[in-house]
Amino acid sequence: MKTEPIRLAIEGMTCDHCAVGIAKALMKVEGVRSTAVSYPDKSAAIEVERSVAPKVLLRAVSNAGRYSARVVSAPAPGPTSPPPASAHAGAPDLLIIGGGSAAFAAAIRAADLGASARIVEAGTMGGTCVNVGCVPSKTMIRVAEKMHGANRNAFAGIALSARLLDYAATVRQKDGLVAELRQAKYADVLKAYPSVSYVQGTARFAAGGALTIDGQPASASKLLIATGARPWEPPIPGLAETPHWTSTDALASTVLPTHLIVIGGGAVGIELAQMILRMGSRVTLLEALPGVVPNEDADVQEGLAAALREDGMRIEVGVRIARVGGRPGAYEVSIEAGGRAETLTSDALLVATGRRANTASLGLPEADVHTDGRGAIVVDMHQRTSNPAIYAAGDVTGDPMFVYVSAHTGAVAAENALFGDRVRRDLVGMPRVTFTDPGVASVGLSETEARKSGAEVIVSKLGLEHVPRAIAARDTRGFVKLVVDANTRLLLGAHILAPEAGEMIQETVLAIRHGITVDDLARAMHPYLTHAEGIKLAAQSLGKDVSKLSCCAA
């Protein structure tokens, strides 16, 4: 029988032994006549019978270990070439419900593994992050930082000022950026993966667990649910009857309020509160728990609140909201805090009290997919649900709601759904960033959590007044805090309150993931006059008084 050449590019090989194993796996594929796998070239040259589909070879490579492959060159299919098996039934290997970051990561992983995938999205392509979350909020936060920096100058001899001329134009520019990134990072990406299709429609499980799309039966070998999350609101008396902003509304509004009340002091609420404050509005922030950004270390909570109050924000923590009422332009919020009662008035109200999984309309009980008390889909470490044929990933599972977590779990879910539960999700060293100014970035355990774990803990907390970069920039707000196991000298947690804290955290993420000790951090060379040098100095301060060290002291 006539043979034809196919060439693959292979990722994941670490030695010649990997190449040998992949070659053996390829030779087991029926119709493969010869193969030459090169570790240095990261490639495979294969002679196959014309009936062998490239996707079968890609799967063989993937099944040989933690490898992935893509076709570099292959003959065009002739008229006698049979289509892939799934094409006969019109069903993809993996059907993905949802069209955000978890869904796209899953579809791309499926394609890399030689499988077909179909994304079914009821709303706007791209999900939360690009449309109403990370992208629009961070660009608006940067606008506010520019205004604030121009109007508060710490340097002698210069005068700066900024004023808001056309807020609607700023919002339109933000909307344009969102549209550009949605096109570039989602719609255009699909063009690079012919085995991935996209359908606009509403998926739901009908009686007996049958999947439907817009009411019509649909089928696939495996299913993945990645429908994300939506803003959630607590049962505050009067809130359900009172029209108000969610974070999406706040970012869409082209008019700034005179006074904004924000209910919720987590990352979303506090980022938007400071952004609108710096645009010129008066802002009052209310948080039911004892501190803002309540998931962060106690020192971070206190330090951030102090910085925001210095900016002019009113912050009330430990608040009980007795009632909410009013309408746009005239709100009343009755609170109890510190043993006193007060009624606040404002012309705008933002509720940012967290998000909950989008599962209510999926018909999950029909498919025997279990959810927890908050409606999130329950999954195991392989992202498999209570129904072994259905996987779930991203915000819909109640995992930490970060786009990088969604992408990671989406890829894990796709691989396991297609090839069995061979990989586990791994959130060790997961960083968290809150884009305030000063910013917040953290990884691992807080000091309180570390002490509760039973470890013998030592702590270094270095104020930015000891970091040359911060001194030169005349902005020493914040600190670097390292939580360390006293016996192993391993880093248990890192907590940073600093301008651009998110740009500093990655070094400590790698330290936690790869077992790098605090002494290794202290010995490593860090470029002088960078904020990252604060990590080295904080590590050094566990054994030295850094105020007595010269610049660049080892």
Q: Which residues are catalytic?
A: 13, 15, 18, 67, 129, 134, 551-552
Q: What is the 3-state secondary structure (H, E, C) of 295-356?
A: CCCHHHHHHHHHHHHHHCCEEEECCEEEEEEEECCEEEEEEEECCEEEEEEECEEEECCCEE
User: 355-357 and 229-231 as β-strands: parallel, antiparallel, unpaired?
Assistant: antiparallel
- Could you give the C-alpha distances from 499 to 456, 471, 478, in angstroms and in order? 31, 12, 8
Fill in the DSSP letter of residue 367.
Answer: G
The whole-angstrom distance between residue 218's C-alpha and the CA centroid of its chain comes to 30
351 contacts 239 by C-beta, under 8 angstroms: yes
User: Cα-flanking dihedrals φ and ψ of residue 242, to 5°?
Assistant: -110, 115
Q: Provide the residue type at 228 as one letter.
A: G
Question: Cis before residue 54, ω within 30 degrees of 0?
Answer: no
Fill in the DSSP letter of residue 363.
Answer: -
**In 3D, which of 133, 129, 127 has the Cα closest to residue 227?**
127
d(CA 421, CA 20): 24
Q: Provide the residue type at 17 as one letter.
A: H
Q: How many CA atoms lie within 13 A of 499 on its CB side?
A: 16
Dihedral sign of CA atoms 463, 467, 470, 473 in order: positive
Query: Three-state SS for 79?
Result: coil
Indicate the length of the chain as a whole number. 554
| Residue 547, burial from CB neighbour count under 10 angstroms (0-12, 13-18, 19+) | exposed
d(CA 374, CA 372): 5
d(CA 109, CA 411): 6
Q: Give Dmax over CA atoms of the chain in angstroms.
A: 89
Residue-wise burial string across 429-459, b where 16 or more C-beta atoms lie within 10 A, e elsewhere: bbbbbbbbbbbbbbbbbbbeebeeeebebbb
272 contacts 249 by C-beta, under 8 angstroms: no
